[in-house]
Chain A
Amino acid sequence: MAVSLFGMNTIVSGFTMENWSIGQSMTDAYAGIETAYAQRIVFNNISSDPRWSIFTYGANAVGTTTTVTIGQTPFNTVQAQVTRTCCQYTLDPTTAAYSYMLESYVVYTSGKRSYCKVSKVYRTQ
């Protein structure tokens, strides 16, 4: 009986770990999408894009959080929270160019555990 229970426990743990690794892998993939998009977005639109709310460097961070579907397993939809912030650096005194750091934090939560993948893209004029 003890052996059976131990075996059962091991299998359940294995299955839980498998789901956890699926969630992590999907989170990584979604962070890749965020990176690609941050690299692609038209520079002039960064400051007006509601996706990344701008905060001044050094001030309190302000971000927007969205729940997104990052994948689907045979049994359930996998969702994650994406928090995006954008740091606008002051004008470069020499070139008078603006620059931005676009950050996306993709957080996958399963029970009490959370996994976060960060995407940071630096854009400058």
Chain B
Amino acid sequence: MKKLPQSGFTLIELTLVLGISVMIASTLIGLFKAHVQMMTKSLQNNFVAEDAPFIGLLLTRTMANAEDFRIYASGSNARSNTAPVLSGSAVRLWMRQPNSTFRQAVISYETVSGHAGIYFWLTDLANGTFATLPNWELAGGSLTAALFQFDSTTLSPADPHQGVLLVKLTGSYNDWYKFAAEKK
């Protein structure tokens, strides 16, 4: 009797291949998950890694040009020059012009047209008043608060720096960055 040649794989071979495939797949899935987690963390870091230092530089440069400043609880208070405080979300600047007069500006964290951010308001050269809309938006996006503080009671309670204008920028994940917005 003629014996037919056998083809295909044995059960042991199939089990082995299947086992190795499962191992590789689970490793890859684990790696992919870790990759996604790391990418998410990296994205969450964006505010303190990229945005905040840049906003800090912008604010420091702008505020360092001012001869004088006052802090206010809100942007509207700052524009109407009402009730200056030692800690608030807006600062009014007095900028000296080449003709020795002062032009005033306000930097405030507030919501304008439904969008929260740091806005720059500049008085009109002709009549010295502020327009109803800001001149520029300096920062927005993941910025959720900006606090200007002169007495440092809450910004540096353990290590106070009285008499220095400190600014604290807060991001979406309660992350924050603080700096001195003064001439160096």
Contacts and interface: CB of A to CB of B under 8 A. Distances in A.
Contacts of B27: 1, 4
Listed residue (A12, A39, A68, A74) with the most chain B CB atoms within 10 angstroms of its CB: A74
A12 B45 CA distance: 14
A8 B31 contact: yes
Interface string B21-49: 00010011001001100110110110011
B2 interface: no
B25 to A, nearest CB: 11
Contact of B35 (A7, A30, A35): A7
Given A12-B38, A15-B38, A71-B48, A29 B56 contact: yes
A68 B158 CA distance: 8
Nearest to B176: A72
A73 B48 contact: yes
Nearest to A74: B173
A124 interface: no
Interface string B161-184: 101111000010111111110101
B179 A22 contact: no
Contacts of A29: 53, 56, 177-180
Interface of A is mostly: helix
Contacts of B184: 32, 35-36
Contact of B182 (A14, A18, A36, A68): A36
Contacts of B67: none
A30 B156 CA distance: 11
A46 to B, nearest CB: 14
Q: What range describes how many residues of A lie at the interface?
A: 35 or more
Most buried by A among B49, B161, B171, B173: B161
Contacts, number: 100
B35 A74 contact: no
Interface size class of B (residues with CB under 8 A): 35 or more
B159 interface: yes
Given A22-B45, A72-B176, A11 B163 contact: no
Interface string A36-62: 110111000000000000000000000
Given A11-B38, A74-B45, A26 B177 contact: yes
A15 B41 contact: yes
Contacts of B163: 37, 40-41
Of A8, A22, A35, A73, chain B has the most CB atoms within 10 Å of the CB of A73
A70 to B, nearest CB: 8
Interface of A: 1, 4-5, 7-8, 11-12, 14-15, 18-19, 21-22, 25-26, 29-30, 32-37, 39-41, 66, 68-75, 82
Q: Which 7 A-B pairs have the closest CB atoms?
A: A74-B173, A36-B180, A29-B179, A37-B161, A33-B180, A74-B44, A36-B164
